[in-house]
Structure 1
């Protein structure tokens, strides 16, 4: 296999934070690699370096002369008013027939291809971005959280595409099941170092645990031998007949070394300040119609959500999940019917892209204090911040230096400090690492209030949901149980 990119002894720092520390790796054609690491570890920074959007402090990166990189970005590359076809033609320079043919591989036809691309759901926009990648005929794909906003059908479409793709892939994702389906190798960025393992993410993490346990056993044996030698030396070094033996044992002792074992990284353990437990109906929809002036998405919606329930909103991309959430949060007015919240409901909403609108010049501390409910103590703020891995000494950082995942965690921390009785969460797992998603699910299960949420993560949904609300084919129906 030809090496497409070779990274040698690369170091990259932001201020005192060293993200890459003499990191080295060779990426070859036909490799399909899952790229994992904590939020803020430096994954996005490395991708930007590979794209030549950032420089390194030291080290070398060699690119094959025939390297053609395709990068699936998290941000929105679309212009106001342009259609998906307009974007594909502008981005690729290819004629409309060629753009339409490639778009068809991702089922982009009719209004999805010719209507305003900014009005498409996040999942359909991802399909447009994938079509744009193919039009550039890359031999090395870099995908940054490609399953964000995708429904199950689109995830499977993407999986099939990547399995058949003949080039190399470097995939950043918090979704382990997706990485297992696609990637045969795993690259981890941890404490500035890159480690490549020949196996999927589950096998890699299992292997790391096995190696750690082996090293711990080896160290236990070394420590026991060290104590034995130290005892012998102490007893015999002064004796005329045993001093030479003691000196020999001292040489043995000097040769004993412990295997360095990395200390565990901080564990995410999310704490949600509890609210008063309530009973009865939290939300009633009576013959509700939702949508836009020129497009009715669903009508005759009649359902109730009880206090204390955790309702998962499900449905394919474009069916109206986000439209339903926007309507119940008053971001969109109902087209008809009635919507009633229960008495004294205190509602907070986490939207898909809310983390992009954070005030860059504020510090983490400023933001959390402003978002906290009246009467929230400094100790409570520190506890919630710490549960999202924001240590006290980091709270004076400006928001502008945070990664996408750190911003998402900050938004969620702010919402939880508001002590709301109802949480509306639109894809809360997007931009979070695997461990944080798991911790958020555990915290929501313990929350006494009401949760209404969407998620493409099947494991997260199964853990959290007590009820399911399906948005499909112009109707919204409620089902008890998961």
Structure 2
């Protein structure tokens, strides 16, 4: 039996990220690790893998336990290797030739085409790079598995495949998964750990059920907090009253009793905790408005690859003000090419068969936040591009979750989650009335996803969305388009597409 135990674990960076964390996970436990960006998930996983240190407490693994850890990022040193070579490199050098069959077995598990195995990692999509990282870990047959944001960059087919793999191949070992994908957590985990500064909470439930249980716990804690604060106020009023009476009457007994009441009030107050609120910076959007009824129209439009090969055809499509259209389709059918075509049309390029209302003000982000510059600081970018001035820019960045001392950092040093927050702030400052969102929730934590969804709904913004996040699609979309048989057609719901993809990968 393998197990990983944490005893009074805590981590302090510039602030306390988590403390008083104690739990044990054993064979068959699959734990979802949930917290906001920058709140210690990766640091905890690294400590559990023996690659990082805690500020306090201990990580204890059962004797001989081999822990497999899949990081978020592909090492730059691996980019010149083929997928096959990277996985093979995990094996001891003396075994790479004799045991190369193990590489083929693992790549077969992930249905990796033969041609894909011998392509350089730098030429592969983010999704295939993610599969390579997982395969490299799994080829060593670990006794426990730690996965840091494993769904990032995966298309829906690969996402379902990963769900099935975790539930089958990894079902008998301890597994910890840090993820912002709510549906994925529900499908793959049996326990949920909410990482918090003072009182981490663990539930023997998958994410959605655990979230309801956590809400009940927080509600009870808030009610207790209010009762305690009322008691503190009551005791202090009584103490003040007794002090006045004691002084006026010369009664030392009343003065002593008043002191006792104040000490009791202080003791209760010092024990009162604020209820934790998850934050992902203050994501805000808007809708600069438009009077046009039809914002975008297509008629007899063909979407091609950059080399000119036909991907699919649009016979006729009107996008009305306030529509929230979701583009569905298998990987490689042309979803991102379509988004790029729309963006080019909205920024002035002539496109046969595409009509854009003159009132459209586009706001476009892709999953890599590629419009962010590689050079310069956060403050330089916001102050220099959006006419906000230094003080206003500092305030906006602070509201988005960037402390003053971090605003002079180069953008190139930001984590993926921080880049996402900066990109969403820039999107807001563009003041668009039409949002083009290509995988906008990659690297955005759950609180941020829910805030982004709420902002679009609240402002009645028009948007085109591509996303593999099923919760986000269901919560935001009101029209659904699918690319199939080389045509773009409208469907009533995304559920049949989700069901087909799940069945194909089952």
TM-score norm. by structure 1 comes to 0.81
Q: Structure 2: how far apart are the matches of 1:426 and 1:207? A: 35
1:431 maps to what in 2? 443
* Alignment partner of 1:18 is 2:33: no
1:197 maps to what in 2? 202
Matches within 5 A, 1:47-446: 47-55=45-53, 61-77=59-75, 84-92=83-91, 93=96, 95=99, 97-109=101-113, 111-113=115-117, 121-164=125-168, 165-191=171-197, 195-200=200-205, 201-203=210-212, 205-220=214-229, 222-223=231-232, 225-227=234-236, 229-230=238-239, 233-234=242-243, 236-238=245-247, 244=253, 247-248=256-257, 250-256=259-265, 257-258=267-268, 259-262=271-274, 265=277, 269-279=282-292, 280-284=294-298, 286-291=300-305, 293=307, 296=309, 298-306=311-319, 308=321, 309-329=323-343, 338=352, 340=354, 342=356, 344=358, 345-354=360-369, 358-359=373-374, 362-372=376-386, 376=388, 381=393, 384-390=396-402, 394-399=406-411, 402-446=414-458
Q: Is the 8 A contact 2:70 2:137 kept in 1?
A: yes
CA distance 1:447–1:207, shift in 2 (3 Å): closer
Aligned residues: 469
Q: Deviation at 1:213? A: 2.5
445-454 or 322-331, which deviates more: 322-331
* 2:195 counterpart SS class: strand
Q: Structure 2: how far apart are the matches of 1:338 and 1:185? A: 53
Q: Structure 1: any 5+ residue segments left out of the alignment? A: 332-336
Q: Deviation at 1:396? A: 3.6
Q: Deviation at 1:417? A: 1.4
103-112 or 143-152, which deviates more: 103-112
Q: Is the 8 A contact 1:328 1:339 kept in 2?
A: no
Q: Is the 8 A contact 2:33 2:177 kept in 1?
A: yes
Q: Is the 8 A contact 2:193 2:203 kept in 1?
A: no
297-306 or 459-468, which deviates more: 297-306
Q: Is the 8 A contact 1:11 1:21 kept in 2?
A: yes
Kindly report the root-mean-square deviation, in angstroms, between the aligned alpha carbons of the 2 structures.
3.9
Q: Deviation at 1:428? A: 0.8
1:472 maps to what in 2? 484
Q: Structure 2: any 5+ residue segments left out of the alignment? A: 346-350, 495-506
Q: Is the 8 A contact 1:283 1:341 kept in 2?
A: yes
Q: Structure 1: how far apart are the matches of 2:443 and 2:41? A: 12
Q: Is the 8 A contact 1:29 1:139 kept in 2?
A: no
1:334 maps to what in 2? none
Q: Deviation at 1:186? A: 2.9
CA distance 1:65–1:12, shift in 2 (3 Å): farther
- The one-character-per-residue Cα deviations of 1:322-352 (angstroms, maximum 9, x if unpaired) are 2333444459xxxxx9463525555443222
